[in-house]
Amino acid sequence: MSEKIYDVSPEWASRAFIDDAKYQDMYARSVSDPNGFWGEQAQRIGWIKPFTKVENTSFAPGHISIKWFEDGVLNVAWNCIDRHLPDRAEQTAIIWEGDDPSDSRKISYRELHDEVCKFANILRSRNVQKGDRVTIYLPMIPEAAFAMLACARIGAIHSVVFAGFSPDSLAQRITDCQSKIVITADEGLRGGRKVPLKANVDAALKKCEGVDWVVVVKRTGADVFMDDVRDFWYAEAAEMVTTDCPCEPMHAEDPLFILYTSGSTGQPKGVLHTSGGYLVFAAMTHQYVFDYHDGDIYWCTADVGWVTGHSYILYGPLANGATTLMFEGVPNYPTNSRFWEVIDKHKVNIFYTAPTAIRALMQGGDEPVKKTSRKSLRLLGSVGEPINPEAWEWYHRVVGEDRCPIVDTWWQTETGGILITPLPGATKLKPGSATRPFFGVVPQILDADANVLEGECQGNLCLARSWPGQMRTVYGDHARFEQTYFSAYPGKYFTGDGCRRDADGYYWITGRVDDVINVSGHRMGTAEVESSLVAHAKVSEAAVVGYPHDIKGQGIYAYVTLMDGTEPTEELRKELVAWVRKDIGPIASPDLIQFAPSLPKTRSGKIMRRILRKIAEDEPSTLGDTSTLADPAVVEDLVEHRQNKR
């Protein structure tokens, strides 16, 4: 681990909202008087009816219940748009930068209001009502933001499905939340390549029922199939509606959105977030972590299909009246300089991206960065996976020219917003550490026997109490919520992450300790990839683990046992990769497949993943205890035929 420490510069300590003394004070108050603290923080947003109660939460086994500001009434879209109209109607709300560098657009708060109202009226005209679910399968175009805010405006619950997911994955998510309407585009455009979104929706809808309407946004102008009854063009519908759409008053605990995320077992879970607490938390973290001041240009490179896009492209920034940049493209198109060119083009001050992108760009050397100015940059951020100190140093030295602090923000889909992070005016930085807890966050590190460890230690990361942005339930399955997050360590929320705390009380996230792998910052359940593989006629058994990958952080390593009599050929290997890619989506494609005559199992038939992980990581000397194996010879064969990293 890196031992370097970067002090807070005097300029940062004085310009930032929070310096170290203020952090200490506010943190102490946030844990000693959470009701007072959060009651005050909640005043940062507008309430139609003020709340009288702040926290009402329980992590008690059998009674998991999370409510914040529960008798308050608000509307999230009003807070993100209408509230700003008196002061900043002409200010840019969204800068949209297209895949093609010549394609960009600025949307003011007034235009955002009009577009969102039109979209909301289209939904209302199709009988979408408060509480109905709306599936959004869109590329990174402004209409994705309009659609999400339109749902929030009328109280519908959006479920955004990342546009890289396959028809089957989309169908599964539509079915789980019973959406009656799907919003998509003719095609997406990324890195010069087209993605057949409408065709994917058509394929998905062959596998699920109950969808009455498909709204299609024109992006590329491709000639796509349109069902006479079910499908209609967004632009045509938008001509029939007005730009006036009253906001639905919502209770703080009314759902805002569902976002599907992978876990250690079974199919992806619908993480449910509600209105009041989520918005307060997204807005507050956005302001303090990025030290967002009026007039700043802020860019988060995530996709709106992930939680980072929800909280830190859309809801947090817009609740703060910010200018937020939305980027349709990829870091290396048309060249490796694209990110830095966009920063110069739009004078970006705050830039938030993922370690996988940093590592990929770092491989291209310093020149593509150095040929750009980046003088507008003031702060850098990282999210999605642990950032290795080498990538951190490069990001700091080359991209930020030693002048921009880096906020390494740890959080999850489930947490709604950032929980462990430096604050740029308050926290000394250590490359690779997410540093200290945000206000109201009480991390604990536990050992396997559920002992809470003190001081310097390493173990499993739990959160001892609730915060307003916490997920409320798994959509339609509260028992699964309790089982997944509250059963390993009763009375605490278990994150699924391993963590070390150093002598300064800094937290170092070491990665997932469950059967979730983090590929390029995207979560993938090993069980999902396994069930896709075994669905192939030639596969008898499969076990999937993660292994260290230079760019992606983790790669997907699949051990596959074939049906008797099937030849393990290169061709079949390719076929299986393509199979999973088609079944789940490109992010789930195995990087390496090892054909295994059999898998290491205990005498009771359990696959010993610990051993498979060690082999994939090329650490056969640390296999540990193999005495419980039914057939120890299996391991030798696996070690001998281990696939090499590409």
Single-letter code of the amino acid located at 22: K
DSSP 192: T
DSSP 285: H
Q: How far is the CB of 502 from ligand 6R9 (least distance, A)?
A: 15
Instruction: Identify which of residues 432 and 600 has a Cβ nearer to ligand 6R9 in the complex.
Output: 432
Q: How far is the CB of 426 from ligand 6R9 (least distance, A)?
A: 17
Q: How far is the CB of 539 from ligand 6R9 (least distance, A)?
A: 28
Among residues 82, 81, 206, 222, the alpha carbon closest in space to that of 139 is found at 222
What H or E segment, with its residue span, contains residue 462? strand 457-463
User: For residue 579, which phi and psi values (nearest 5 degrees)?
Assistant: -60, -50
List all residues 6 or more positions away from 70 whose beta carbon is below 8 Å from its beta carbon: 51, 53, 56, 251, 252, 253
Q: How far is the CB of 403 from ligand 6R9 (least distance, A)?
A: 22
Rounded to whole angstroms, the Cα distance separating 161 from 169 reads 9
Instruction: Identify which of residues 107 and 509 has a Cβ nearer to ligand 6R9 in the complex.
Output: 509
Instruction: Identify which of residues 132 and 385 has a Cβ nearer to ligand 6R9 in the complex.
Output: 385
Instruction: Give the residue ranges of the annotated binding site for ATP.
Output: 384-386, 408-413, 497, 512, 523
Among residues 70, 78, 42, 134, the alpha carbon closest in space to that of 472 is found at 70
Q: Are 515 and 264 in contact (CB under 8 A)?
A: yes
Instruction: Identify which of residues 324 and 413 has a Cβ nearer to ligand 6R9 in the complex.
Output: 413
Instruction: Identify which of residues 396 and 512 has a Cβ nearer to ligand 6R9 in the complex.
Output: 512
Rounded to whole angstroms, the Cα distance separating 241 from 117 reads 9
Instruction: Identify which of residues 186 and 414 has a Cβ nearer to ligand 6R9 in the complex.
Output: 414
Among residues 67, 147, 199, the alpha carbon closest in space to that of 467 is found at 67
Beta strands across the sheet bearing 213-217? 231-233, 213-217, 181-185, 133-137, 157-160, 255-261, 269-274, 473-474
Instruction: Identify which of residues 407 and 599 has a Cβ nearer to ligand 6R9 in the complex.
Output: 407
Per-residue CA distances from 489 to 79, 394, 463, 483 (Å): 37, 38, 10, 10
Instruction: Identify which of residues 554 and 643 has a Cβ nearer to ligand 6R9 in the complex.
Output: 554
Query: Which tokens belong to 609?
Result: 């993943």
CA contacts within 13 A on the Cβ side of 584:
24
Question: Which residue has the CB atom at the shortest distance from ligand 6R9?
Answer: 413
Q: How far is the CB of 627 from ligand 6R9 (least distance, A)?
A: 31
Instruction: Give the residue ranges of the annotated binding site for CoA.
Output: 190-193, 308, 332, 520, 581
Single-letter code of the amino acid located at 166: S
Query: Which tokens belong to 119?
Result: 């979209």
Q: How far is the CB of 303 from ligand 6R9 (least distance, A)?
A: 11
Q: How far is the CB of 302 from ligand 6R9 (least distance, A)?
A: 8
Rounded to whole angstroms, the Cα distance separating 607 from 334 reads 45
Q: What is the binding site for ligand 6R9 (CB under 6 A)?
A: 261, 306-308, 382-386, 408-413, 434, 495-497, 509, 511-512, 518, 523
Instruction: Identify which of residues 265 and 412 has a Cβ nearer to ligand 6R9 in the complex.
Output: 412
CB atoms within 10 A of CB 21: 10
Instruction: Give the residue ranges of the annotated binding site.
Output: 190-193, 308, 332, 384-386, 408-413, 497, 512, 520, 523, 534, 536, 539, 581
Query: Which tokens belong to 181?
Result: 């309407």
Instruction: Identify which of residues 39 and 511 has a Cβ nearer to ligand 6R9 in the complex.
Output: 511
Instruction: Identify which of residues 285 and 413 has a Cβ nearer to ligand 6R9 in the complex.
Output: 413
DSSP secondary structure of 520-572: TTEEEEHHHHHHHHHTSTTEEEEEEEEEEETTTEEEEEEEEEEPTT----HHH
Q: How far is the CB of 273 from ligand 6R9 (least distance, A)?
A: 12
Rounded to whole angstroms, the Cα distance separating 331 from 336 reads 6
User: For residue 46, which phi and psi values (nearest 5 degrees)?
Assistant: -95, 140
Query: Which tokens belong to 308?
Result: 């980072």
Q: How far is the CB of 553 from ligand 6R9 (least distance, A)?
A: 9
Query: Which tokens belong to 364?
Result: 């291209």
